[in-house]
A and B are shown apart, each in its own frame.
Chain A
Amino acid sequence: MSKTYYDPADLRKFGKITEWSEELGNKFFDYYGKVFEEGALSAREKSLIALAVAHTEQCPYCIDAYTKDGLQRGITKEEMMEAVHVGAAIKSGATLVHGVQMMNKVNKLEM
């Protein structure tokens, strides 16, 4: 048994999830592949979105995968970092905007 919860080598085994549920696994990978095709958004834009989400989800596999994907597409490290900041801004904004709920509650409860 692995001594850590995450093993980088497990990313290579992602495709094996179809072995225990072929139909659902295949449907997922078909959908996944389709999502990242060129569309109204370019594949390059989608890669940057995926990188930002990978960080907000704090998924180490996704971070590895979409950092490499970005490099393959010629995306610069400055662009990648800006994407991560977009994710961080939404994540922190999402925390802070709940401050309004706190303020509302305080205002309601205090005399």
Chain B
Amino acid sequence: MPKKSLLARNNDLANTQHQLEILSNGIFKDELPTFANKIKESNQFPLRPKKLEILQINLGYMCNQVCAHCHVDAGPDRKEIMTIETMNQCLDVIKKTEAHTLDLTGGAPEMNPNFRWFVEEASKAGIKDFIVRSNLTIIRANKKYYDLPEFFKKHNVHVVSSMPHWTRGKTDKQRGDGVFDKSIKALQMLNEVGYGVEGTNLKLDLVYNPSGAFLPGDQQGLENDFKKALKEDFNIDFNSLFAITNLPISRFLDYLIASENYEDYMYALVEAYNPMAVENVMCTNTISVSWDGWLYDCDFNQMLNLKVNAKVKHISEYNEEILQNRNIIINQHCYGCTAGAGSSCQGVVA
């Protein structure tokens, strides 16, 4: 279980170029097809955006947890935080975007000192679905966060939270000692104010990431198991479960290589390739904004520092029409979003 980010450990994989070299060589030189060649087989190359639906904004890489699989390489030692100036540029875009969903993520977005102000301002734009991705433990990390469930409720925020398993052992192994108990407490606090409870319109969804070198199983089956176990053991309710595949980048790539699972995992992703999932892969309906305002096709491209292939690359010069005419940047990590039933920040796509 890492205690620090790859960056703080001076790990080679903190260099995104090094990650891309690994993903572009080795088994993809002569054994497995590159993602570009794979989507060419079904005439889906180049990958192009469809109607913009989701604006995903990363408020910073700082987090109170150091999860073993984190594709952001987030942690307490990461100091990248969105400034008020960039937030204001984001608000200008939020007011005029055609996207129906605003998705705030991090790190732990709540750790940005201007998080509450930004949520208050953004909620005024009247966007249909306003998501905050909360790691749950932040709600229990410090007294100043205890009222977050009430704050979320006040602004009708849709809470999406990570929960790798309904057992303590599997959860703590992926996310750190004590995370399971704090997460359970936080879920109960969210339930208390009405989140995830039948009859309220306060949505609480959970995100499941496999806690190892394997793909997620059937989303509906997992949701049923989670609902049953969390209800029986802790009287917890939630709305839906999103099963998300771990993409082979950043700390999860580090784990795959260190545990000698990298090649088998990539084979599994390529074997599970589903052209139907390509149709609805999230980069086709999302723009991802980094803490410093750069624009990306998705959160994963952001973490690989692959900025959008368009004339406008920064939130300060945002132009939806120009962005919608770009080609999406792909690499072998994209197999993670097209395996099986597909994977996106909203779960399966096919």
Query: Which positions in A face B, CB cutoff 8 Å?
Result: 8, 12, 42-44, 68-69, 71-74, 76
Contact = CB atoms under 8 A, between A and B. Distances in A.
A111 to B, nearest CB: 60
A68 B261 CA distance: 12
A71 B210 contact: yes
Secondary structure dominating the interface of A: helix
Contact of B222 (A12, A42, A73): A73
Nearest to B340: A72
B141 to A, nearest CB: 27
Contacts of B216: 72
Interface in B208-229: 208, 210, 212, 214-218, 221-222, 225-226
| Best-surrounded residue of A12, A44, A72, A73 (most CB of chain B within 10 A) | A72
Nearest to A38: B221
The 3 closest A-B pairs by CB, nearest first: A72-B217, A73-B217, A71-B214
Contacts of A74: 165-166, 208, 217, 222, 225-226
Given A43-B218, A73-B221, A73-B222, 15 more contacts: A8-B264, A12-B267, A12-B271, A42-B221, A44-B225, A68-B214, A69-B217, A71-B212, A71-B214, A72-B210, A72-B214, A74-B208, A74-B222, A74-B226, A76-B170
Contacts of B169: 76
Contacts of B167: 76
Interface in B191-223: 208, 210, 212, 214-218, 221-222
Contacts of A8: 264
B221 A43 contact: yes
A72 B222 CA distance: 9
18 contacts: A8-B264, A12-B267, A12-B271, A42-B221, A44-B221, A69-B217, A71-B212, A71-B214, A72-B216, A73-B217, A73-B218, A73-B225, A74-B165, A74-B166, A74-B217, A74-B222, A74-B225, A76-B170
Interface residues of B, number: 20
Contacts of A44: 221, 225
Interface of B: 165-167, 169-170, 208, 210, 212, 214-218, 221-222, 225-226, 264, 267, 271
Contacts of B210: 71-72
Contacts of B170: 76
B174 to A, nearest CB: 12
A72 B214 CA distance: 6
A101 to B, nearest CB: 44
A71 B264 CA distance: 15
Contacts of B225: 44, 73-74
A88 B341 CA distance: 35
Contacts of A68: 214
Contacts of B214: 68, 71-72
Nearest to A71: B214
A94 B271 CA distance: 39
A44 B225 CA distance: 10
B329 to A, nearest CB: 29
Contacts of B165: 74
Contacts of A76: 167, 169-170
Contacts of B271: 12
A72 B267 contact: no
